Amino acid sequence: MPGEHLAAVIDDAVMPDPDLLRRLAPALGLRTADLFVIAGQPVPDELGSAWPTSPWDVGAIVRHLVRMDADRRRQLTAVIRSLPVEPRIGPTPDDEYPDTPGALLLRLLRNRNIRPYNARILAEIGDGPHVSDATVAGLGSGRVVVTPQYVTAFAHLLGYPPADMVALTGIGPVVEDARAHPAAAEIAALTWHARQLNSEQLSTVIAAARSMQT
């Protein structure tokens, strides 16, 4: 990740141009929608996740994926890819978090339609701290201190190299001995494919996942 370019994008004194963000994202090795989040800019409707959905979010899919073998993950991937994606209408609701490293991590989760109350999958995917959902949610307000273990775990869940997340948050070093899930990269990629599914579609995916585990 070219640090000088990223630093210019996230400089609070600069208002990044949306076209610039779209051009820079591939060069920085970032998802375009994520770069808008990192830059503190509204994610364009056509790039936004379906957040918020009910009763399920993409985190619910992850909870099934971590217990599936490769064949069942492929089957669930096929289900997700078969569903049509419709861009959201209207802006994503504001979270009112201060601009802190913890808020950035939770906003990147929200950009995958994963709620902050997902401590379990953070631990299972990226060897995150064994804490309560409320503790993870507290990262957004700054009530809970972001540690290298959190940053490394979020990196695996978000699908980025841990070193890149250290660069983005300024909190490190990388926890080199973190025991990430063997399929962490595959699961992270699948969450990205599922991020724009609406509430009804997510219910379809969850039903399919449950049927595969019976």
Residue 155 lies in a domain: yes
Residue 5 lies in a domain: no
Residue 65 lies in a domain: yes
Residue 20 lies in a domain: no
Residue 32 lies in a domain: no
How far, in Å, CA of 186 to CA of 163, rounded? 19
Domain count, the chain: 1
Residue 149 lies in a domain: yes
Tokens read off for 103: 């808020």
How far lies 149's CA from each of 56, 93, 108, 209, in Å?
27, 28, 17, 30
pLDDT, averaged per 10 consecutive residues of the chain (214 residues), comes to 55 72 90 95 93 97 97 97 86 88 98 96 98 98 97 98 93 97 98 97 98 84
pTM metric for this prediction: 0.93
User: Domain range holding 155?
Assistant: 42-212
Residue 122 lies in a domain: yes
Question: Is the sign of the CA dihedral 22, 50, 121, 68 positive or negative?
Answer: negative
